[in-house]
Structure 1
Amino acid sequence: MALTREEREEFLAEPHIAALAVDAGPGRAPLTVPIWYQYAPGGDIWVMTGRDSRKNELIQAAGRFSLMVDRLEPTIRYVSVEGPVTDTVPATVEQLREISARYLPAEKVDEYVDFAWKSHGEQVIVHLRPERWVSSDLGTV
């Protein structure tokens, strides 16, 4: 059964690991990788990635990408969202802290942020405007 707009937005706002997919060019399957993301119902989605990463190069070339999140319990549920890139800006340490706190235990955030900010190279924030949604709750198996 398809989710309502409110249900799919609430589900997407939960801290799932997303599968990001972006066109990888002629003769290639889409690049599909796991990624952390940030989303609040009704707004845009953002992801953080390396400025010079293949992922970012493909996103900028395509001008759009999709994210898919799912869970298996208490019911099998998924949400897939696709849309255009609306902005790409340099990442800040505050944004790194925000997204890290979404996924890591509180006691691990500071150590991870310190490591990542020093080690991962220049990062960017890529904003996606949700344009097309596919969602379902398949119930329990």
Structure 2
Amino acid sequence: MALTREEREKFLAEPHIAAFSVDAGPGRAPLTVPIWYQYEPGGDVWIMTGLDSRKNQLISAAGRFTLMVDRLEPTIRYVSVEGPVVETSPATLEQLWEISARYLPPEKVDGYVDFAWKNHGEQVVLRMRPEHWVSSDLGQV
């Protein structure tokens, strides 16, 4: 059964690892990889990636991307959201800390952020405006 707007936005706001997909060009299937993301209900979704990464190059060419998050327990539930990139900006240390704190245990955040900021190269934040949603909870019958 499809989720209501409130249910799908609440689910997307939880810290799931997303399957990220973007058009990879002629003769190629979409690039699909796991990614951290940030979302608050009613707002834009944002991700962080390397300025020179393949993901960023493909997103720049396509102008949009898709995220899909799911769970298996207590019921199989998923939300997929797709939309246009509405902003690209240099990543800040605060944004790196925010997204890291979403996914890592508190005692690991500072060490990871310090390492990533020094070693991952220049990062960008891409904001996507949710335009198309697909969702379901297969336990709601």
- TM class by smaller structure: over 0.9
Aligned counterparts of 2:13 and 2:57: Cα–Cα separation in 1: 26
Q: Which residue of 2 aligns with 1:89?
A: 89
Q: Which residue of 1 aligns with 2:29?
A: 29
Q: Which residue of 2 aligns with 1:5?
A: 5
Aligned counterparts of 1:86 and 1:38: Cα–Cα separation in 2: 15
Structure 1 gap segments, 5+ residues each: none
Q: Which residue of 1 aligns with 2:47?
A: 47
CA shift for structure 1 position 25: 0.2
Aligned residues with identical type, % of pairs: 83
Matched letter for residue 20 of structure 1: F
CA shift for structure 1 position 92: 0.3
TM-score by length of 1: 0.98
For 1:33-112, list aligned pairs within 5 A: 33-112=33-112
Aligned counterparts of 2:21 and 2:105: Cα–Cα separation in 1: 27
Deviations 1:21-67 (A, max 9, x none): 00000000000010000000000000000000000000010000000
TM-score by length of 2: 0.98
Matched letter for residue 128 of structure 1: M
Q: Which residue of 2 aligns with 1:133?
A: 133
CA RMSD of aligned residues (A): 0.7
Aligned counterparts of 1:60 and 1:102: Cα–Cα separation in 2: 26
Matched letter for residue 10 of structure 1: K
CA shift for structure 1 position 18: 0.2
1:52 aligned counterpart, secondary structure: coil
Structure 2 gap segments, 5+ residues each: none
How many residues of Structure 1 are paired with residues of Structure 2 in the alignment?
A: 140
Matched letter for residue 117 of structure 1: W
Aligned counterparts of 1:10 and 1:50: Cα–Cα separation in 2: 28
2:43 aligned counterpart, secondary structure: coil
Matched letter for residue 118 of structure 2: K
The 4+ residue runs of structure 1 with deviation greater than 4 A are none
Aligned counterparts of 1:129 and 1:65: Cα–Cα separation in 2: 10
Aligned counterparts of 1:97 and 1:138: Cα–Cα separation in 2: 35
